[in-house]
Structure 1
Amino acid sequence: MEYPPAIVPVLVMLLVTRPLTVLLHELGHAVPALLFSRGPVTIYIGSFEETHQSKSVKLGRLTCWFRRNPLQWWWGLCEADCGSMSVARQVIYVMGGALVSLFFALLMLYLLLSASLPMPLLIFCTLLFTSALFDILFNFNPFLKRTQAGQTYYSDGRTLIQLLRLKQSAKTYHQALQYYRDKQYESAATLFERLLKRGWTNEETYRLAGTAWLFCRRYPKVIQIYMALCDKCPLNADDWYCLGMAHLNLNQPEEAQYFLEQSLALQPDNPYTLNALGYLFTTLEAFESALPWLNKAIELDNNYSYAWNNRGYARMKTGQLEQGLADVQHAIQLDRENSYAWRNLGIYYLLKQEPEKAREWLLKSREMAADTPLINELLQQCDTKTA
């Protein structure tokens, strides 16, 4: 098939103009990214993060990858570290490409309308204008693209919508933080979870939501939050600890031990995890096994009331009644709001066969926290022994 002679130069011009406007569009993203972040910025011309059939050009922190086949230079991608940018700066970063394309399109339109251009230049400017206009319209369309490798990329329009939603959610985030600081954990957790559903999915929000639900003793919620976080990033020692405590309180000892050991592998000298493992063994009535963990927790943090209290309980159950009582009394001195310690004081008097005195301290524990484990069963034992 033969083409008319005029079409050949037009096709050549198209092969030049399209890559040029794509490159300008991606540079419009890259320049704000270089200004607003300290990490590397990468541009891909003709691919989405594919480098195996490309050549690179490096300029400082900016790297440009070009497909070897120029016929594929019809689209592009800019990648930068947005985590270090504020939402407002991310908006500028996303808008940068469209603004450069708009400026270039307007410049070409001005030349077309105000200048008497020779025909080749007229065609060239028209193609540049059309290509730049296409970049604006195409990228502002809120869509997502999935590659054959399973990766997902959002158009500028869709990214911008998400960022504007995040901007609107900033007030909610600060309100949730205030609730958290004020120990209004249920209100905080509810707002944090609402933000996650809206797309405010940074790691810190997951962790704040998870720990807030843990304080509320909503253990299935804790597991749900941290399992979702696990899909985003590797869990740290505190994350494993929270998962362990959730399973421990759901009476799932095998799962609890696994998660607590994962936490300890990352942070061997964490007194909270050591105490949790000691407490786990007391729930399994393996009191001798609990003591080494609790001893180490106290060694690392001599003012940790719960570790003193749990060791006191374990000592009582291994026949060391007076040593156990001393530990529990010390736990109360460290934290008079520790309902477990008052409960264990009642247990001491039950073991001493003094149910009336035991009942006094058990009732005090229940007044502090009605859901303190074993409290109602222990009160029933007092009633039986008194009768």
Structure 2
Amino acid sequence: MNDWLVLIVIYTALFISSPLIAVLHELGHAFAYLILTKPNKIDIYIGSYGNKKNNIAFKLGKLHFYIKKSFPFIKGIGLCHSSKQEPSYINEIIILLAGPLFTVVAACIPFIIILNTGANLLVLTSCYIFLGFSVLSLINNLIPKDINKKYKVYLANDGKQILFALNLRQAFPIYLEAAEHYKNKKFEKAAISLKLVLEKAHKTSDDILRLIIFTSIETKQYDDAHFYLTELENKFKLSTNDLLMKATLLSLTQRNNEAITTYNEVLKKDKNNILALNNIGAALLEKEEYFVARHAFEKAIKLDPDFYAPIGNLGHLEILEGNLETGKKLVNQCLSVNENASDAYKVLGIYYLKIKDINQATINFNKAKELDNDIDLSKYEDELKALNEEVV
């Protein structure tokens, strides 16, 4: 037999095994959803974890496929998302198991047939390779772990989600209720439900703690956020995202120096973390350390030119340094990306205050207050009042 032919067959089998396993894996989840949950729509992503950009999209009945275009081959990753939540933790576990098990079963059937029909050695070799990868995929998916962070998503694999469902089995319906509130940005209701879930869970869940911390920050219940953050820190190793959340909480509670230290911890782990760069720049701006703040904002903008926050913050810095028109231009650029950026209107108010345009300063400060009732304008309101008195 030609050695080159053998090599070509082996490399071809290796080449297609990964994306094929991803397709079968997600189909396994989808079929289980169709049988147990009966949703109206199931989204199946191949080659990404939910990215709808640059995809080949098509549908087969209730199955909507999004296959990521990539060269030279489709990545062996995927995601299956149902339009209807599964209310039973037992069914949820079955759905999670269906993905890796369906892949192995799908690999075993042709292998058994070919093994018993005396097929060509090359065909048998291809089946061995595919079956071997399917078994490895099964093991890899059932050992609990987080999804690799290089994909910029924070998901758990099937094994970790199975453990999560088992841990919350007494509170699974309450968790689904909390998830629905969270999805609809009803953070106060979500926080109440999540605290009840934590009480009923068989052991403390790091994922539930993270959700409670986030919802507590969103509802400005900072004491609760600190309490649960301390519990998370004592019981689990903080991830980069956890550190970022901790630093944000420290900033919001006026512990600027601690916040800067924590943002630096984030940047040591991920030097291109855009949120950390923007937030540490904002904290340094408060301390009037303009040179370092500028570097942080400019790097964040370079990494993501469409991220409005560092553009507005850089505009604020320019205005504070006396470059008024440059600053105003940047703030207007920020508002062209996000017209509801309350801090940007605050900075415009500062700009108009500096050029002594009382009317426009008042309009922009009022707009900032309208968008965020908790925004601190006291310093500038006093200055505006004094300017009004001068005019009178």
TM-score with structure 2 setting the length: 0.56
2:331 equivalent to 1:324: no
- Contact map agreement 1:313 1:328 (CA 8 A) in 2: yes
Q: Quick one: which of 152, 162, 166 aligns to 1:85?
A: 162
Contact preservation (8 Å) 1:213, 1:219 = yes
CA distance in structure 2 between the partners assigned to 1:84 and 1:306 by the alignment: 34
Residues 321-343 of structure 1: CA deviation (Å, up to 9, x unaligned): 11111111111111111111111
Alpha-carbon separation, structure 2, partners of 1:250 and 1:222: 11
3-state secondary structure, aligned to 1:336 = coil
Q: C-alpha deviations, 1:95-118, integer Å up to 9, x for none?
A: xxxxxxxxxxxxxxxxxxxxxxxx
Matched with 1:313 is: 316
Q: Shift of the alpha carbon at 1:201?
A: 2.4
Compared with structure 1, are the counterparts of its residues 365 and 274 closer, same or farther at alpha carbon in structure 2 (3 Å cutoff)? same
The 1:198–1:378 alpha-carbon spacing in structure 2 relative to 1, beyond 3 Å, is same
Amino acid at match of 1:188: A
Cα 1:82–1:226, aligned 2, differ >3 Å: closer, same or farther? same
Q: What is the one-letter code of the residue matched to 2:353? A: L
Which of 207, 219, 242 is the matching residue for 2:210? 207
Q: For 1:153-192, list aligned pairs within 5 A.
A: 166-192=168-194
1:83 CA drift (Å): 4.5
For residues 1-387 of structure 1, what are the structure 2 equivalents within 5 Å? Answer: 83=160, 85=162, 166-199=168-201, 201-373=204-376, 375-387=377-389
Q: Distance in 2 between matches of 1:323 and 1:248?
A: 27
SS in 1 for 2:215: helix
Structure 1 residue 209: Cα displacement: 1.3
Q: Give structure 1 stretches of 5+ with no counterpart.
A: 1-35, 39-60, 62-80, 91-162
Q: Quick one: structure 1 residues 231 and 354, their matched pair in 2 at CA, closer, same or farther if it must change by over 3 Å?
A: same
Amino acid of the structure 2 residue aligned with 1:363: N
Max Rg structure: 1
Give distance in 2, aligned partners of 1:376 and 1:370: 12
Q: How far 1:217 moved relative to its partner?
A: 2.5
Provide the rounded CA distance (Å) in 1 between the counterparts of 2:269 and 2:299: 17
Offset from partner CA, 1:238-258 (integer Å, 9 cap, x none): 110111111111111121112
Equivalent in the alignment of 2:46: none
- Matches of 1:302 and 1:261 in 2, distance apart? 22
CA–CA separation in structure 1 for the residues paired with 2:269 and 2:226: 19
Any gaps of 5 or more consecutive residues in structure 2? 1-96, 101-138, 140-157
For residue 117 of structure 2, what is the aligned residue in structure 1? Answer: none
Structure 1 171/286 Cα, relative in aligned 2: closer, same or farther at 3 Å?
A: same
May I ask how many residue pairs the two structures share in their alignment? 235
Q: Quote the offset at 1:222 in angstroms.
A: 2.1
Partner residue in 2 for 1:98? none
CA contact (8 A) 1:288 1:318 kept: no
Distance in 1, matches of 2:161 and 2:386, equals 63
Q: CA RMSD in A?
A: 2.3
- C-alpha deviation, 1:344, in angstroms: 0.6
Q: Percent identity?
A: 23
Are the structure 2 counterparts of residues 325 and 355 from structure 1 closer, same or farther at C-alpha, using a change threshold of 3 Å? Answer: same
What is the Cα deviation at residue 87 of structure 1?
Answer: 7.4
Q: Is the contact between residue 170 and residue 200 of structure 2 (CA under 8 Å) also seen in structure 1?
A: no
Distance 1:207 1:301 in 2: 26
